[in-house]
Each structure stands twice: as structure tokens, then as C-alpha cells.
Chains A and B, each alone.
Chain A
Amino acid sequence: MQAHVPLFAGLCLSFCVAIASAADAPPPALAAKAASHSTTDHSQLEALKGPFKTGPEVTKACLSCHNMAGHQVMKSVHWTWEAPSKTDGKLLGKKWAANNFCGSPLSNEARCTSCHAGYGWHDKSFDFADQDNVDCLACHDNTGSYRKFSTDAGHPLYADREFEPMEGPPGKKLFKAPDLTRIAQHVGRPGRDNCGNCHFNGGGGDAVKHGDLDSSLKNPPRDVDVHMARDGANMVCADCHTFNAHQPSGSRYAVTARDTHGLDLPKDDHNRATCESCHGLTPHRQAKINHHAGKVACQTCHIPEFARGGVATKMRWDWSTAGKRDADGKPLFVKDEHGHLKYSAAKGDFAYGENVRPEYKWYNGSVSQVTITDKLAGHRAADGVLELNRVDGSAADPNARIWPFKVMRGKQAYDPVNDTLVVNHVFGDDDTALWKNYDFAKSIQAGMDYAGLPYSGKFDFIETRMNWFITHMVAPKEKAVPCAECHTRGNDGRLAVITDLYLPGRDRNAWVDLFGSLAIAGAIGGGLVHGLVRILTRRKENAQ
């Protein structure tokens, strides 16, 4: 009988260990998204035998089967770089909207269009109607080896090339031409690299622009992105940014600031670029937290900081200091102690941030975006800073919620006479490009001439601000922003600047608090005095 006791205990123990280890094991990864589920092995196709010498040759081969794809892509913002504003119909998109990073692609096409979903957009003569110019591989390469070269107007290298990047370490570096034939035979659904090659590098480098999109998302730890981590949901960009006939869902130019539809079911529009599309409208167990979603975007609590993956994002870019040279007369490039370029003769001064707490603003999806043709008068904030894309909304607006933003600050060139921003010709092998000659007078004149926009010939620099809403790098739920970081009287409260609503824990009525405090003090004091007199009078009586 006694022998059974340790046996039983042993069984219990091993059972507990089994349970514990089962709990520790990461959840099984979702099925691999590669070609394994495809009904076609592209490497067996006659049309893809190759060999392919250029990108457009591959595209022709793709279109020989996917005969609608080219025309679908040519309608998408990835191709047109144009998007009409939802509110005022004004043409936006990369072509027209101004930002405080590199500025306009006009006159700089060969450099900027290394992220265009096409081939050969060298200048204004680019044929947007030729489907052979569509780049299929940028999005559909599954080998991870396809790269569009940074200065070849969207083409990859067709032969190995020695090249010295402007801001890299001195000396030429060998860049290998990708094997187009092999890549064409290994195509499939877009993975993280396909999107990331451009979107992680927005603004000219890793993490520069968005703050919530950088190379750390290729294989992020769960703390950085609960959706994309391998031990999280192991999702890829296109799982949320669902495509319909090559049109991506979820765009800065078509934002759903408040999703009232909820789950995206098969009968719906296959747009999953909101949290609610998968999580529904009431995802929390506590009703009080679900109620918050009426006024607070999911992102506000669930993305406590941006640039959390170990890659710093640019927070400030001051163009006005560009052009300095060192003692030898060479353009100056200075790195900070973290290896970040903090001064570039080509671009001016930079400031970076990691693990940055967002700024919070009401946002109803409507943006007052400054374009390169707009007069600036109506876009200056009370502090005189030019708001490049003021976001609209208030507590009284039923469509607005409080959203987190990376606010990019900068100082950039403008025309003080015409009161417009300017097109700056930064890139090119000519004697006007800023990155060759470091002369704003020439580069702006050349940019404005190229764009065909009115220019007074005078330029100055203006302080600007730009709002980049934060929606990626969702943290695990246990890392969500604690209630008290907003519900606090402290000046460091996250919502300290949102003053047009009553925020419990922060706000109060001073008169009611004064009256109430006096009432409590009176109650306690009255009791104390009354009790004291009782003690004193009893003593006197006892003494008598």
C-alpha cells in the first residue's frame, strides 16, 4: 500500500510538469504562407522558363497568364502615387502631398521610384498606361532576393555594380544583380520582406518615416508586435492589408478612424485593415474597456510606444543646415554615439527616437493635407508652425477617436513670396542637384522649373509638423497602457493635452471639491470639538 503513495505522487508530478510544459510551449505557428498551398508550381511553367534579362520581360511572362493583373495594379496607389482626398477631393498621394522628409519625387524620380511598383519612371515622360512597366516581383518574389536598385527608377540591377552610397561608409561596395529567372519561378503571395523593402524604409532608410514600421518587423519578438511575432499570431502585412483586385486596403489617404462595422465576414468587403475587422466591436471582457472604444482608438492603449524594435526613427529633420563641408572641403557627415547619422551635408540635422511615447490627438479620418501647390496661409498653427497634415476631430465629433501619432518635426524650404512649399531637386547627376552641389538656390530653382510651378526665386526655411498615426507594433495585451497613465492628475498624463472632455481621475470641479473637503473637515472637526468638550465637562463634574 505504501508503495502506491510515491507512485501516485510521481504520477501527479509528471502530470503537472506535462501541463506546465504544454503551457510554456509557444502556440503552433500558422501554416506557412509560401507557395506550399498554391495550386501552381511556377517553376514548372513554360512561360517562366526564361532566361529573363530585365524586369519588364518577367512582367510580360506573368501577364501572359494573369491577364487582368497589370490593369488592376495600374489602378492602385502603388502605381499611380495619387489618391484623391476623402474630404475635399484634392489630389494627394506621393505625387502631390508635401511632407517634411525628402519632399517631392518630382525631378528626383530615378531615386524615389526605386519604391514604385513599376519600371522606368525616370521623369515626367513615364507611360502610366503601359502594363509591361508594372513590377510584379517587388510584391510577389518569394525568394527574398529581389531588390530594386536605389537609383535606377524602379529597376533591379541587371549586372553586378560597384557603388558608393551617399551617406554610407566611404568606398565602393559591390551590389549583386538578382537572378530574375529563379525569382520569376518562385513567386507567390507577398510576405513581410516584399512590403518591408519599401515600407520599412519610407523616408529614405530603415525606420525613418513611420516610427511603427521598420526592419524589426521582419522577425519581431512578441513584445514588439504580437501579430507578426512567430510566437504570436505570425501574420504578414497582407493578412490585415487585404488586397482586392490588387487594391490594398488600409491607407493613410482612406482612413477608418472609427470602425462601426466590426468583423469582416466573407459577405463583407474583405477589408481587414482595422482592428475591429478581426477583433469585433467588443473584444474586451470588461464592458468598461469596450466602452472606451467609442472615444479611444484601439491603438492608443495597445501601442504604448513606437520604434520599439531597436531601430531608431527620425523625429526631426532640419534641412536648413544642409551643405556644410569639413576642413578638406568635403561634404560633412557626422554620426552620433549610436551610429545614427546626426548631420548630413545633403540633408541637414536629424534627431532620432526609440521607444517613443506617441502624442495623442482627436482624429475622425479627415486630414487637411498641404500639397506642393497650396498656399500655406490657412495651414499655420497658432504657434506659427506649418501643419503639413492637420488631423481633424474633437470630443464632440461622433466619428472622432483619440489616436496616437508620431509627430515629425522639421524645417524645410519654402517660397516666402508666393507662400508655397517648393520642389527641391535633390537627386541627379547634374550641376543643380542638391546632393551633388549643396546649393539650395540652384536645386530649388531646378525643382520648381521641372515641376512647372510658380517660384519667386526667393526661398527660406519654415518650421513644419507632420502627423503619422501609429497603428503597427501592437503590444501583447499585458503590455497595454495602464489606465492610470491617462487617468491621472499628473502633468505627464498621456492625455494631458486632450482637454475637451471630462477625464475621470484627472478632472474635477474645484468648487465641489472645496465644498466637499470643508464638509468632511467640518464633520471630523465638529466631532473632535464636541467630544473634547464632553470629556472636559465630564471631568469637571466628576471633580466637583
Chain B
Amino acid sequence: MSAERIYIYKRYERFWHWSQALLIIGMMITGFEVHGSYTLLGFESAVRLHTLAAWTLLTLWAFTIFWQFTTGEWRQYIPSLKNVLAMVNYYLIGIFRDAPHPFRKTVVQKHNPLQRLAYLALLAVISPLIWVSGLFYLFYGDWQRLGIDAYLNLEWVAVAHTLGAFLITAFFFIHVYLTTTGHTVFAHIKAMITGWEEVDGTQHKP
């Protein structure tokens, strides 16, 4: 099995990924404390850190969106239904039989079709749910001044935000588990740290 090393995650991308990971983990921990699920840092600190992390992440996203469009990397997120079934088949059956991975990462196509669908769901459903509800939640005190208090209800905003939080937390655990499905358990994580991914050279070329 000949291995080929490709530089797949650029420096900014890795910085983005890990700082975003840190912020999201922080927001999950503080967010569920604000929700009342447990006491860890204290309600006040939890709220403060959660809010700070939210603004930091929004800033990071502003840079990242700029980066995605200037580098053309945004195309990585265009969904495709092609080979989705092959991916499902791999995760359900092939992976247990040591079958070859049906998708070969390249610099221009670093996400497998299932990943693309998952990220699309994240971007199109979970993210808006969290951000819209979160910003309304954050600016609850301004509803009256903005004249929107008649149309909104804190309970529904908070419940929507909580729902989003549960969904992204579930996503987080699945995401972390799937990083272990590379040709070695830590191969994907190593790639996200160094930028270099070892790609199996014997597989079919794209």
C-alpha cells in the first residue's frame, strides 16, 4: 500500500478549525450551565464567557467567510448526492470489512459526499437556528425599544436556542467519532493539526 502525502488543510483553515472547536466546546459547556443543567463556573461567569465566545466566533466567521470566498474554498461545501449511498454503505458495512474508503481526498475535494451533506445541514439549519435565536436572546432587553416585543416570546427564543444547542452537541460527538475512521485512529486529527494527510495511493484516482 503506497502512501502519498498531500497538503490538504492550509494554515488559516487549521487555525479556524481549532479556534472554532475551542469556542464551540466552550459554548457547549457554558451554554448548558446557563440552561441550568449543572453548576460549574457559576451562572454569571457562564453567561459572560458564553457571550464573549459568541462574539469571538462571529468575528472568526467574518474572517473565514472572507477566506472561503477569496480562496474559492467555499466550493468544498457544494453538496452532491453522488456517491452518498456508497458512503453510507461504507460506514454501515464496508468499514467493518476493511473495504477501501469509497472517497479519496484531494486538495480540491477534501470532503466526502456525506460530509458535504452534514456540513450543509449544519450551515443551513443548525447554525441559523442557533445564531438567530442566540442574537434575539442576547438582545432581549432591546426588544421593547426595537418594537419587536409584541412578536417575540423569550420562552420560544430560548427553547429554539436550546434545541440548536442539543443538535450541535450531538453533531459534535458524531464529528469527533468519525475523525477516528481514517486509516489509523488518529490519522484525520493529525492531518487537521499538521495539514498533511496521508492518502492511500492504491485507490482509484478521482
What is the interface of chain A, defined by CB distance below 8 A to chain B?
A: 286-288, 290-292, 294, 398, 482-484, 487-489, 501-502, 504-509, 512-513, 515-517, 519-520, 522-524, 526-527, 530-531, 533-534, 537-538, 541
Q: How far in angstroms is the closest Cβ of chain B from A364?
A: 15
Contact, CB under 8 Å: A288 / B141: yes
Known contacts A489-B36, A508-B36, A509-B162: does B43 contact A527 (CB below 8 Å)? no
Q: Is the interface of B mostly helix, strand, loop or mixed?
A: helix
Q: Which residues of chain A come closer than 8 Å to B176, judged between CB atoms? A: 527
**A286 — nearest CB in chain B belongs to which residue?**
B48
Contact, CB under 8 Å: A291 / B180: no
Contact, CB under 8 Å: B140 / A291: yes
Per a CB cutoff under 8 Å, which of A488, A506, A526 touches B174? A526
- For chain B, residues 18 to 67, give those with C-beta under 8 angstroms from any C-beta of chain A: 34-36, 39, 42-44, 47-48, 51
Alpha-carbon distance A512/B160, docked complex (angstroms)? 9
CB-based A-B contact count at 8 angstroms: 107
Q: Which residues of chain B come closer than 8 Å to A288, judged between CB atoms? A: 47, 51, 138, 141
Contact, CB under 8 Å: A520 / B169: yes
Question: B159 on the interface (CB 8 Å rule)?
Answer: yes
**B167 — nearest CB in chain A belongs to which residue?**
A519
Contact, CB under 8 Å: B142 / A291: yes
Contact, CB under 8 Å: B158 / A517: no
Contact, CB under 8 Å: A487 / B43: yes
Per a CB cutoff under 8 Å, which of B34, B96, B140, B155 touches A505? B34
Contact, CB under 8 Å: B142 / A483: no
Question: B107 on the interface (CB 8 Å rule)?
Answer: no
Contact, CB under 8 Å: B95 / A287: no
Closest 10 CB pairs of A and B: A291-B141, A516-B166, A527-B177, A502-B155, A484-B43, A523-B173, A537-B96, A523-B170, A519-B170, A483-B44
What is the interface of chain B, defined by CB distance below 8 A to chain A?
A: 34-36, 39, 42-44, 47-48, 51, 91, 95-98, 138, 140-142, 144, 153-155, 158-159, 162-163, 165-167, 169-174, 176-177, 180-181
Contact, CB under 8 Å: A505 / B42: no
Q: Which residues of chain B come closer than 8 Å to A508, judged between CB atoms? A: 35-36, 159, 162
Alpha-carbon distance A291/B95, docked complex (angstroms)? 53
Contact, CB under 8 Å: A527 / B141: no
Contact, CB under 8 Å: B169 / A512: no
Contact, CB under 8 Å: A517 / B166: yes
Given A501-B154, A509-B162, list of 6 further CB < 8 A pairs? A484-B43, A504-B158, A508-B162, A516-B163, A516-B166, A519-B167
Q: Which residues of chain B come closer than 8 Å to A484, judged between CB atoms? A: 39, 42-44
Q: Which residues of chain B come closer than 8 Å to A489, judged between CB atoms? A: 36
Q: Which residues of chain A come closer than 8 Å to B173, judged between CB atoms? A: 520, 523-524, 527
Contact, CB under 8 Å: A505 / B174: no
Q: Which residues of chain A come closer than 8 Å to B158, judged between CB atoms? A: 502, 504, 507
Contact, CB under 8 Å: A522 / B36: no
Q: Is the interface of A mostly helix, strand, loop or mixed?
A: helix
Q: How far in angstroms is the closest Cβ of chain B from A521?
A: 9
Q: Which residues of chain A come closer than 8 Å to B167, judged between CB atoms? A: 516, 519
Contact, CB under 8 Å: B47 / A523: no
Q: Which residues of chain B come closer than 8 Å to A524, judged between CB atoms? A: 173
Known contacts A505-B36, A519-B167: does B140 contact A530 (CB below 8 Å)? no
Per a CB cutoff under 8 Å, which of B91, B162, B180 touches A516? B162
Known contacts A291-B141, A537-B96: does B159 contact A512 (CB below 8 Å)? yes
Alpha-carbon distance A306/B95, docked complex (angstroms)? 67
Known contacts A291-B142, A505-B34: does B154 contact A482 (CB below 8 Å)? no
Contact, CB under 8 Å: A506 / B96: no
Q: Which residues of chain B come closer than 8 Å to A507, judged between CB atoms? A: 155, 158
Which residue of B140, B142, B172 has the most chain A CB atoms within 10 A of its CB atom?
B140
Contact, CB under 8 Å: B97 / A537: yes
Alpha-carbon distance A523/B34, docked complex (angstroms)? 22
Contact, CB under 8 Å: B44 / A482: yes
Known contacts A519-B167, A524-B173, A526-B174: does B43 contact A505 (CB below 8 Å)? yes
Q: How far in angstroms is the closest Cβ of chain A from B156?
A: 9
Give 30 CB contacts A-B under 8 Å.
A287-B141, A288-B141, A292-B141, A294-B141, A398-B144, A482-B42, A483-B47, A484-B44, A487-B43, A502-B153, A502-B158, A504-B36, A505-B36, A506-B36, A508-B162, A509-B155, A509-B162, A512-B166, A513-B166, A515-B163, A516-B166, A519-B170, A520-B169, A523-B173, A523-B177, A526-B174, A526-B177, A531-B177, A534-B96, A537-B97
**B96 — nearest CB in chain A belongs to which residue?**
A537
Q: Which residues of chain B come closer than 8 Å to A506, judged between CB atoms? A: 36
Q: Which residues of chain A come closer than 8 Å to B96, judged between CB atoms? A: 533-534, 537-538
Q: Which residues of chain A come closer than 8 Å to B144, judged between CB atoms? A: 294, 398
Q: Which residues of chain B come closer than 8 Å to A482, judged between CB atoms? A: 42-44
**A533 — nearest CB in chain B belongs to which residue?**
B96
Contact, CB under 8 Å: A290 / B180: no
Q: How far in angstroms is the closest Cβ of chain B from A295?
A: 9
Contact, CB under 8 Å: B141 / A290: yes
Q: Which residues of chain B come closer than 8 Å to A286, judged between CB atoms? A: 48
Alpha-carbon distance A292/B47, docked complex (angstroms)? 14
**B153 — nearest CB in chain A belongs to which residue?**
A502
Q: How far in angstroms is the closest Cβ of chain B from A439?
A: 56
Q: Which residues of chain B come closer than 8 Å to A531, judged between CB atoms? A: 177, 180
